[in-house]
Structure 1
């Protein structure tokens, strides 16, 4: 007697995780306005202790997104040809990427230049309008430079994730042309390696070695070319997601390990956040041995948080519904506009002198409201829909279509 293991046709848990991760990303980018870290615009009253909250999602949020994007791509790839998969991804990702670079992103760079000029009481950005800026932006002739370097335009800013996702999908399509059963073989390999203690141990070791070897040499640039550390982590996560998407074996293992993974993630966060806080100013310089140890603590946080999220998601987020269908489609337009909304509103809110908690609440509420309003508007305009990663026609089937972030 043989036992047949059913293969899922959709993972609602991964859809919920994707939506939740992008909502967290919106909150993270609001936080970037307030923490002392470098960003496009900055609050005149930075909140240093907010860094501790930012460290909660910093190690894993984007790696998780690449993983669930790889998983969603698996479901698409198994239902169509490589050519159709490539064409669909190009049609859903490339127009929004280009549209964002030339329409949505420029205000971010504009206010970045304006704030730099204001902080230095002179310089470019104070003598021309947004229209004048945009011409220089698209022609790459602005020459906006500071002691830290020059602003290269056109740029994709937060849209780097979409550019990388498109690139990874094209690489995957090339691999599928050579190895059509790649997903099945990746699944078998993942089930073999991520077994017992290896479910937790081996991803930590891999990510730790990558961080120890590549991060000190290349850092994170989001420039696509030469961004070796980010590619090593993100493309690996994308392929892992492609492999584990349909694995009931790994799904059950992650459910079983969810509490252990959560405990390790919390402990690793405590260690990493303490280290980053103590040495946040760059002085004193941490011992080299401590640096090495903390790279593995960081990746313990990365993988264990992801494993816990996948485990709890698989256990409790296994139902769809109208809210999920709405958000799964809407999250791409949300992502396109959210950072520009934050930058523009934060720049102007800072001038009002409001109590900072009230200012932050306004910024969060209005950013989410702007995201929902944008989606509700663009989904009703056929020609514009394509520029926001939506299908060309609005139909009842839209909510069941693959997400743009697949």
Structure 2
């Protein structure tokens, strides 16, 4: 299988962006999160909105691309088992151990949990409902918080495995070839059309919840993008086209971003917009999301497809960093926010503490054989050298 350095590098950058986004959630005004600083900034809403609409879609798209390159149709049963083994242990371990500290900190700050982490953990492990407002997911007794991505990626992967006979049939292959052969405006408009429909039909009825059962809009959006990735992964014509169009795609995405975010921040969007105005904004959002994804792929293919020296280590570290990062951010903020530090110092320490915890945690995890699968890593290569990790969080397999 061809090693796509651009997708490996893009995966690393996408998760670094996710970590930065979650650190910023501590400070953005009027947005709920597990904890909030006393230093809130309304201006942060602008860049956060610009990223919010496509950041998770990018992760699901890369997941689909990685699986498409792996070609699971050769061994669909092994693929389904591999996805289960690589995704479920980190999800369950993360929910019961890593994420529990987020629930504890949030519950203590909200006044619904008594201080004392071990006492909380014993109660948390019983998976019984907590008082309302204790922490996100308290009504279920346990939470997956930022690990919801794993909970969604696993069934998406199994559903894709079930669809493989259809996708790899004669008509399925012809449809894939036609999709990969889209050019110019058709490559932007046609794949964006389902996203626009979901935004106008499903989003008004099914707000994003991240609870899996009641998340119809997000399932429709993310599985569609995930499937796009699988279909387009091996289309040389597609990759040539996004590289060729990288400049107009980038400019179009930037322009749509300004118009869309400006529309959301206007008095019209936050007041009582008419139905036509809301449909226009949602339609623009669908085009903005898909155009941004295409632009990112085009520029990544153009500029990142080479074996950077840092890439093998970073590719392996992505999954442990992903599992650890938000719990680290919440714990650091839990200790720092009550100390009333200056905004610049508090934010710097939150970011530094998050990065330090991820670095240290990864170095511990990668050296302990029984911890590796609990953080999504394969067994250590016998040579002991750094190897590019086929990270399950993005659906890669070797």
TM-score in terms of structure 2 length: 0.92
Query: For 1:217-250, what per-residue CA distance to the aligned partner results, in whole angstroms no more than 9, with x for missing partners?
Result: 0011111123111111111111111111111100
SS of the residue corresponding to residue 399 of structure 1 reads coil
Is the Cα contact below 8 Å between 1:34 and 1:43 reproduced in 2? Answer: yes
Cross-structure match for 1:331: 318
Query: For 1:141-162, what per-residue CA distance to the aligned partner results, in whole angstroms no more than 9, with x for missing partners?
Result: 3522149995432111111101
1:304-343 to 2 correspondences below 5 Å: 304-343=291-330
Q: Does 1:174 align with 2:162?
A: yes
- d(CA) in 2 for partners of 1:253 and 1:220? 33
- d(CA) in 1 for partners of 2:284 and 2:167? 36
- d(CA) in 2 for partners of 1:135 and 1:313? 46
1:157-236 to 2 correspondences below 5 Å: 157-177=145-165, 179-180=167-168, 184-185=173-174, 187-192=176-181, 194-236=182-224
Is the Cα contact below 8 Å between 1:385 and 1:391 reproduced in 2? Answer: yes
How far has the Cα of 1:185 moved from its partner? 4.8
SS of the residue corresponding to residue 344 of structure 1 reads helix
- d(CA) in 2 for partners of 1:278 and 1:31? 22
SS of the residue corresponding to residue 33 of structure 2 reads coil
Name which of 98, 101, 123 aligns with 1:104: 98
- d(CA) in 1 for partners of 2:165 and 2:194? 27
Q: Does 1:144 align with 2:144?
A: no
1:282-293 to 2 correspondences below 5 Å: 283-293=270-280
Alpha-carbon distance change, 133 to 189 in structure 1, aligned in 2, over 3 angstroms: farther
1:6-405 to 2 correspondences below 5 Å: 9-35=2-28, 36-78=30-72, 80-117=74-111, 124-125=112-113, 127-146=114-133, 151-177=139-165, 179-180=167-168, 184-185=173-174, 187-192=176-181, 194-279=182-267, 283-396=270-383, 399-404=387-392, 405=394
SS of the residue corresponding to residue 144 of structure 1 reads coil
Query: For 1:289-323, what per-residue CA distance to the aligned partner results, in whole angstroms no more than 9, with x for missing partners?
Result: 11111101212221111111101111111112441
Q: How many residues align?
A: 390
- d(CA) in 1 for partners of 2:84 and 2:360? 26
Is the Cα contact below 8 Å between 1:136 and 1:142 reproduced in 2? Answer: no
- d(CA) in 1 for partners of 2:162 and 2:184? 33
- Indicate the RMSD between aligned Cα atoms, in angstroms: 2.2
SS of the residue corresponding to residue 371 of structure 2 reads helix
- d(CA) in 2 for partners of 1:55 and 1:160? 20
Is the Cα contact below 8 Å between 1:89 and 1:169 reproduced in 2? Answer: yes
Is the Cα contact below 8 Å between 1:77 and 1:85 reproduced in 2? Answer: no
How far has the Cα of 1:165 moved from its partner? 0.7
- d(CA) in 1 for partners of 2:66 and 2:226? 10
- d(CA) in 2 for partners of 1:378 and 1:142? 31
How far has the Cα of 1:178 moved from its partner? 5.3
TM-score in terms of structure 1 length: 0.90
Structure 2: gaps (5+ residues): none
How far has the Cα of 1:205 moved from its partner? 2.3
- d(CA) in 2 for partners of 1:393 and 1:181? 37
Is the Cα contact below 8 Å between 2:176 and 2:232 reproduced in 1? Answer: yes
